[in-house]
Amino acid sequence: MSSTITKSYLYEHVARIGKAISSPKRLELIELLAQGEKTVETLDEQARMDMRLARAHLRALREARLVETRREGKFIHYRLSGPDVAKLWLNVREVAEEHLVELRVALGQMAASPDALTSESRASLLAKARRGDIIVIDVRPEAEYTAGHLPFARSLPLAELERRLADLPVGKEIVAYCRGPFCLMSDEAVKLLRLRGYTAHKISDGVTEWSASGLPIES
């Protein structure tokens, strides 16, 4: 059998992964699933995608063995087939950021304001959160927080933030995060908090970046 296998055959199978992630929407689905297991309906809503199109993209990812499914009643739940898939997304994104100036410029323009992004190192941020010097808030949906979050972080979904401002102590620095550098929820949270008189910043990390750096994730 091995004598009949050619190099082209091997490259062809590796290329299946490249083909599966060649769609912007499939990359977005992988990023969303890196936050935790989700139903098709949830992915459709969060990716703002037609249900039939979402199913087609998920089928392509499943055929490439990048996602797995389980059925619960009438709902089908999707999850990444392993943590290496989340790392694949992270590595592809980092290569794009390194080599595509257009992407770097776009990321710079996305920020709510230049000073909204904290330059705090991960280790320093973790130490400050442990001491209670800062309040770290996770502005993703609560289900994503439950699946995994940064240490010492509080769940304050963006949709609930304004009516739950009383949960945040005045006078403490607030640091917000969401799904990573492509996620705008933390920008919106920082803007709202500053308008309400809080000292607030964001970090570009999400749980995928935090975990990839070897730091702990809580659930």
Q: Which residues are catalytic?
A: 178
HSE of 219, CA atoms in CB hemisphere, 13 A: 9
CA separation for the pair 206, 149 (Å, rounded): 8
Joined tokens for residue 90? 């992270």
Closest CA to 206 of 187, 178, 182, 165: 178
Q: Which helix (H) or strand (E) holds 77?
A: strand 75-80
Pairing relationship of beta strands 38-39 and 75-80 according to DSSP bridges: antiparallel
Joined tokens for residue 161? 């933030």
Q: Which helix (H) or strand (E) holds 96?
A: helix 83-99
Q: Is 86 exposed, middle or buried (0-12, 13-18, 19+ CB in 10 A)?
A: buried
